[in-house]
Structure 1
Amino acid sequence: MLAAIWAQDEEGLIGKEGKLPWHLPNDLKFFKTMTEHNTIVMGRKTFEGMGGKLLPNRDTIILTSDKSYQVEGALVFHDKQEVLEYAKKTDGMVFITGGTQVYKTFLPEIDVLHRTLIHHRFEGDAYFPKINWDAFTMVSISEGETDERNPYKYQFESYHRK
């Protein structure tokens, strides 16, 4: 099953120069909890924006058009169909984790959405693609806890395709 997981600000912003425009440790913890022992799919730029390091306890698929691109310990795929075939064969969830073009490519096939909505506006250059929200039903929403390390109000939302 395919899911998308991302954090965005009030305007749909998800990135700035290949990185997150905010620091929200509770969202990173949520991402870890949701994706551990599953597969994450990301574009090459997103992977390199994370410092080119694989996240532990996850299978990682890096999507790139560069046929010579290799990352030890990761699967490198070159098109959408390879990811969809992999998703059919795996028992766990396959999480699409960015960037914008990768989300846009897979959005028609995604069954589950996990969005962290940050009630703030940031500056950046990457936005989540438009979603037909009528195709999804909200199944859960919970307010995130704010503190000195998590200063922005935010909420975790989950949706299933109708």
Structure 2
Amino acid sequence: MSFYYHSARLINGEEVSMTNYKNKVLLIVNTASKCGFTKQFKDLETLYQKYKNKEFEILGFPCNQFGEQDPGSNEEIAQFCTLNYNVSFPMFEKIEVNGENAHPIYQYLTSHAAGFLGTKKIKWNFTKFLINRQGEVVARYAPNINPLKIEKDIEKYLTPIN
């Protein structure tokens, strides 16, 4: 099954097929509004602004599974991201990333890119997955890795398709 088989709801409730992101480089991040890593929204937005015209997208998935650090409603999360970080990349509805109720996109991501010591489980907020233009998961980054530190990896996959 391909990554593009999946869909998710934007934070406004609109269902979006991942086929909308075919031939784009994607950075998928599980986010939280009240986390020590929340300030990464600023650097994520910086990357998005720099590369969005080069077929790059960031997809944010709020999650409240880690220390209940995103307890707000989808509307409250959207407002927080806009007011505090001017987030303009797509934010999706709050989901679970671990366990039996994990969103299918996260089931796919974790089955294709293991974390530290081979674990599939998401350890914390702001775990990042890089997907190439062919829809393949090419990297997984720990929450403490600043998004700007992976810019070179993003650039490598932004080269045009031959």
TM-score where L is the length of structure 2 = 0.29
Which of the pair has the greater relative contact order for Cα pairs under 8 Å at 6+ separation?
1
Higher strand share: 1
TM-score where L is the length of structure 1 = 0.29
